[in-house]
């Protein structure tokens, strides 16, 4: 299904003896651009997390934040063996050098490596649990992106219908405008040559050449074809991203609209071309949000 590049997904669960939470936010980007913020305990699995994201998200700037909350909020760890070693050494020095005072606990605790922060290391099996949480967050993200994508698709199809209405007006007006132009050219030529006896066949050839330059039938046919392709793609149920394809089709429609406008030489057609360009610009703004 068509998906937006903007979305949010979250999940949480147990990883070893700790509770982990994962949040994923995505916004527009031409390519897949991940940015991971992991606590030190999860840093060893950064590659695996990136791969999970890459497999599920084709385009967009992806910001993933993971947090870990250990049960019981374990405090710092005291190395009792090191503490005893320091205490014995200090007492021996005190005795050896006849130093006064007492060797107290506060003094020993301030010595290097006696007190250490709680270990954040996790066993290798925790990686699988973390991957499951990330996968669930991605699943929730995709659901939101698809829901927004469906809304964008409905908007795009409305705008395509508006373009078709204007295109139908041009298709009705184009042959009338061409005939009027033929008559005007014939009349002008007749007035200019008067009784000079110009070659009627030559005049007909020049008018035909001019008419070919003004004819927009081919452009309108291609425009219709592009609209059909755009609509089919926007309604597609494929799992593949369609944002880039819609963007390419849109570029072709803009090109045809510009050509029709440059060849039209008619106020009514120009008005419809301008309206079509406005609709195509609205479409472009939303296509940039699609994966």
Q: Where are the domains of the chain?
A: 7-73+125-145, 77-116, 146-287
Predicted confidence band at 200 (pLDDT cuts at 50, 70, 90)? low
**For the chain, what percent of residues have pLDDT higher than 90?**
55
Strand 60-70 relative to strand 32-37: parallel, antiparallel, unpaired? Answer: parallel
* pLDDT one-digit tens code per residue, 154-180: 999 999 999 999 999 999 998 888 788
Residue where the block lists tokens 């063996």:
81
- Is 0.75 topped by the overall pTM? no
Of the candidates 165, 154, 156, 150, the one whose C-alpha atom is nearest the C-alpha of residue 246 is 156
Query: What is the spatial distance between Cα 132 and Cα 211, in angstroms, rounded to a whole number?
Result: 66
pLDDT for position 184: 76
Query: What is the spatial distance between Cα 246 and Cα 287, in angstroms, rounded to a whole number?
Result: 7
Query: What is the spatial distance between Cα 51 and Cα 268, in angstroms, rounded to a whole number?
Result: 55
Which tokens sit at 143? 């659901």
Query: What is the spatial distance between Cα 283 and Cα 249, in angstroms, rounded to a whole number?
Result: 11
Residue 273 burial (CB count, 10 A): 23
DSSP assignment of 186-213:
HHHHHHHHTTS---HHHHHHHHHHHHHH
CATH class of the structural domain 7-73+125-145: alpha beta
Residue 206 vs residue 34, higher pLDDT: 34
| Rg value, the chain, Cα | 36
pLDDT for position 195: 52
pLDDT for position 134: 97
CB contact at 8 A, 283 and 243 = no
The three-state (H, E, C) secondary structure of 129-171, written as one string = HHHHHHHHHHHHHHHHHHHHHHHHHHHHHHHHHHHHHHHHHHH
**Per-residue pLDDT at 74 exceeds 60:** no
Residue 209 vs residue 277, higher pLDDT: 277
Query: What is the spatial distance between Cα 83 and Cα 223, in angstroms, rounded to a whole number?
Result: 82
pLDDT for position 169: 95
CB contact at 8 A, 260 and 170 = yes
Q: Which residues of 178-210 are buried (b: 16+ CB within 10 A; e: fewer)?
A: beebeeebeeeeeeeeeeeeeeeeeeeeebeee
Looking at residue 30, the DSSP 8-state letter turns out to be S
pLDDT for position 206: 63
Query: What is the spatial distance between Cα 227 and Cα 233, in angstroms, rounded to a whole number?
Result: 10
Measured CA to CA in angstroms, residue 224 lies from 21, 163, 213, 262 at distances of 50, 10, 20, 18
**Per-residue pLDDT at 210 exceeds 70:** no
* pLDDT one-digit tens code per residue, 47-73: 999 999 999 999 999 999 999 887 655
pLDDT for position 196: 55
| Lowest-pLDDT choice from 164-168, 197-201, 261-265, 285-289 | 197-201
Query: What is the spatial distance between Cα 260 and Cα 273, in angstroms, rounded to a whole number?
Result: 7
**H-only helix segments in the chain:** 46-56, 80-96, 105-109, 126-193, 200-214, 217-234, 243-264, 267-287
CB contact at 8 A, 227 and 254 = no
Mean pLDDT of the chain: 86
**Per-residue pLDDT at 191 exceeds 80:** no
């Amino acid at each position: 299904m068509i998906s937006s590049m903007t979305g949010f997904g979250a999940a949480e669960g147990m990883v070893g003896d700790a509770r982990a939470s994962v949040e994923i936010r995505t916004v527009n980007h031409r390519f897949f651009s991940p940015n991971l913020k992991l606590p030190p305990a999860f840093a060893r699995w950064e590659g695996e997390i990136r791969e999970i994201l890459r497999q599920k998200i084709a385009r967009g700037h992806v910001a993933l934040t993971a947090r870990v909350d250990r049960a019981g909020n374990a405090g710092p760890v005291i190395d009792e063996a090191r503490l005893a070693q320091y205490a014995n050494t200090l007492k021996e020095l005190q005795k050896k050098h006849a130093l006064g005072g007492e060797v107290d606990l506060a003094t020993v605790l301030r010595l290097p490596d006696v007190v250490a922060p709680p270990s954040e290391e996790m066993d290798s099996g925790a990686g699988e649990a973390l991957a499951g949480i990330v996968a669930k967050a991605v699943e929730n993200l995709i659901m939101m992106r698809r829901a927004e994508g469906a809304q964008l698709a409905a908007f795009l199809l409305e705008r395509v219908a508006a373009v078709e209405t204007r295109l139908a007006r041009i298709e009705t007006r184009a042959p009338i405008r061409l005939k009027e132009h033929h008559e005007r050219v014939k009349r002008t030529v007749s007035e200019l040559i008067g009784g000079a006896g110009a070659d009627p066949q030559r005049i007909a050839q020049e008018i035909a050449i001019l008419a070919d330059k003004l004819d927009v039938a081919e452009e309108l046919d291609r425009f219709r074809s592009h609209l059909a392709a755009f609509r089919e793609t926007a309604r597609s149920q494929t799992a593949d991203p369609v944002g880039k394809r819609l963007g390419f089709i849109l570029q072709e429609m803009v090109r045809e609209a510009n050509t029709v406008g440059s060849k039209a030489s008619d106020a009514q057609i120009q008005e419809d071309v301008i309206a079509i360009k406005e609709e195509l610009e609205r479409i472009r703004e939303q296509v940039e949000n699609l994966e």
